[in-house]
Amino acid sequence: MIVLSGCALKIAPSGGPANTAPTRVLEVFPASGSVNQEQPEIRFVFDDYVDRSIRNSITVMPKTPFVTTYDGDAISISFSQQLLPSTTYSVTLGTSWRNLRGIEPTQATTIIFSTGPVIDTGTISGRVVAENLSNLIVVAFPRADTLDSAFNSMKAIAPYQIQIGSDGTFSIKGLANGFYRVLAFNDSNMNGLPDFTEQFGIASGDVSVTQDHTDSLLIVVGPAPADTTVGLETPIHADSANPDIRLGSVRGEFTSHRITNYTYVARIHSVSNKFVRTVKLISGSTWYADSLVPGDYIIDVFEDRNGNAIYDYGSHYPFIHSEPFFKTNILVTIRPRWTTEGVLVSIE
């Protein structure tokens, strides 16, 4: 919960040529990496005057209530409850704010401090894939290896929560070693919980964090649990409404060096993210898809763990991880009455 506090405001100077440069953070207090900070006041100082709505772009992890003081070209954060002992905290100033000229920043700013003598340096980072990135947040639950079958991600507030960047990327820093359960969702009501009507995606497995290495995550966000109308689209064929359409096809090979007992499936979709076909894949073998309307298509791959040939985004309760997803960025152009040959799909 963020409690807003008022104060005397500095007034931005007027006149002079228009400044179109994004506002930069000049200084932060205390310096990132500070230790033994039992109850610090965090302060961001800018090179320009910012809109007071900047207070809504602040994230504290682990999640902790705080109050802010707005000062025109600076903002201060103080914590309204005692911080945990010997814990690394991160305070992130996101990108969903503007200066008084309406210009948004180009990147987020994070400072890390510890209430004890040691800074944890573990990181979970990656990218979220979704049709709409607005209001998307990524959350992480620590000690995932201790969570039992009663765990329900729609009822548990995650101590680590962060907004994703405008390009879908995210990074949660200052983590202790251990296993973390990670998911993304459209937090449209800003309650910090994935609701039945909010789109979501779950990482394909719990994430192991160490201080020197963490694999990058790819989380695919799909329809809300309440959306029962979503299913695999049927192939698009010529019909009486389009008597002159001439369909095309594509043929290629698939290779994988991963060891798994599950089948891989290619998802073929338009550049506007309209899915039109799935094709089962066997490593070292040829695959083929026909009856495709001419145009540009993207091919992605997922591991079909339940054998239904449909990508599964996971489940909040009972909790189920998503199926592993591999974004290949392969772009294929389909021409009428023609088979596009030699498309190699490969995953590592």
List the chain domain ranges: 1-117, 120-230, 248-347
Query: What is the percentage of the chain residues whose pLDDT exceeds 90?
Result: 61
pLDDT band (50, 70, 90) for residue 240: very low
**Distances, alpha carbon 251 to alpha carbons 18, 144, 146, 284, in Å:** 55, 42, 46, 13
* Beta carbons of 326 and 235 less than 8 angstroms apart: no
Residue 291: pLDDT band by 50, 70, 90 thresholds? confident
The answer to whether 329 and 312 have CB atoms below 8 angstroms apart is: no
Identify which has the larger pLDDT, 264 or 227.
264
> Which residue is associated with the tokens 């995210």?
170
Q: Within 10 Å of residue 184's Cβ, how many Cβ atoms?
A: 29
Query: 320 pairs with which residues across the strands?
Result: 315
- What pLDDT is recorded for position 261? 87
74: its two tokens: 């600076």
346 has pLDDT over 90: yes
**How far apart are the C-alpha atoms of 213 and 227, rounded to whole Å?**
37
CATH topology of domain 248-347: Immunoglobulin-like (2.60.40)
* Choice among 63-72, 159-168, 328-337 with the minimum mean pLDDT: 159-168
Q: Is residue 204 helix, strand or coil?
A: coil
* pLDDT band for position 344 (cuts 50, 70, 90): very high
Predicted confidence at residue 13, as pLDDT, reads 57
Domain 120-230 class in CATH: mainly beta
How big is the chain by its Cα radius of gyration, in Å? 24
pLDDT at 3: 43
The pair of structure tokens assigned to 210 is 């160490």
Tell me, what's the pLDDT at 231? 46
Please state the rounded mean pLDDT for residues 17-42.
89
Intrachain domains 1-117 and 248-347 with the same fold: yes
pLDDT score for 258:
87
Triad 248, 252, 253: Cα angle to 5°: 160
Kindly state the tokens that stand for 49.
């005057």
Backbone angles phi, psi at 299, to 5 degrees: -115, 120
Q: What is the mean predicted confidence (pLDDT) over 70-93?
A: 94
Say how many residues make up the chain. 348
Q: What's the predicted TM-score (pTM) here?
A: 0.81
Mean pLDDT value across the chain: 87
Q: Which fold has domain 1-117?
A: Immunoglobulin-like (2.60.40)
Which of 123-127, 129-133, 233-237 shows the lowest mean pLDDT across its residues? 233-237
Quote the CA–CA distance of 119 and 87 in Å, as a whole number. 8
Handedness of CA 193, 323, 205, 107 (dihedral sign): negative
Q: Which pLDDT value is given to residue 17?
A: 57
Tell me what the mean pLDDT of segment 144-163 comes to.
93
- So what's the pLDDT on residue 279? 93
* Alpha-carbon span 319 to 167, nearest angstrom: 28
Tokens standing for residue 238? 């010529």
Mean of the pLDDT values across residues 200-229?
Answer: 87
Residue-wise pLDDT for 272-288, tens only, equals: 777 788 999 999 999 99
Q: What is the DSSP string of 154-197?
A: TT---SEEEEPPTTSEEEEEEEPSEEEEEEEEE-TT-SSS--TT
**pLDDT at residue 257, as a whole number:** 86
